[in-house]
Structure 1
């Protein structure tokens, strides 16, 4: 399952103080990342999927942006893994949640595996 590959890769390469998961943690750390598959497909036994990664920071918009940049660098290196054929940044942007006033950025990646 591609979600497990991504989760393991992020946990290895991110600071241990940064939470990573598919769901929002019950108790949120100062910085954390949530990711979800937004679409997927398969052609000639090659799988593809698009994932949205949300980088949160309680401290500042700058910290959310910095976490987003760190995340992008880590994700881009995933194409070095034997199970990943390619990873491409689709887009990233400020995605601050105005209802909760939480700073966050979102990066969207296309994977082939």
Structure 2
């Protein structure tokens, strides 16, 4: 599963934990990753992932988002990944919980 491969890569290359869903006791800074869609064309797989960078301040969330983007852009070094394309990234502060976060959306081609 590409989700597990990406999470493992994040955990090896970032100094903050990553999760597939929110945890009961979350650290101050962390990443949530979610596969939002997937497709297959000519036997090639592609998936869209949303990565949410959480931190205690908007500035720290923006910095974490930039670090995350640099790491994700290197995913094509893995044999399972054939392409990585930034779709969008933006301030995505959670107004319900008042938690600062940025979101980066990537299109990832994989095998």
Answering whether residue 41 of structure 2 is matched by residue 43 of structure 1, we say yes
Q: Counterparts of 1:50-69 in structure 2 under 5 Å?
A: 50-57=48-55, 59-69=56-66
Aligned residue pairs, count: 110
Instruction: Tell me the equivalent position of 1:73.
Output: 70
Tell me which of 81, 100, 107 is aligned to 1:110.
107
What does residue 5 of structure 1 align with? 5
Q: Extract structure 1 runs of 4+ deviating beyond 6 A.
A: none
Q: Where in structure 2 are there 5+ consecutive unaligned residues?
A: none
User: CA RMSD, aligned part only?
Assistant: 0.7
Structure 1: tracts of 5 or more residues without a match: none
Question: TM-score with structure 2 length normalisation?
Answer: 0.97
**Separation in 1 of the partners of 2:74 and 2:17?**
20
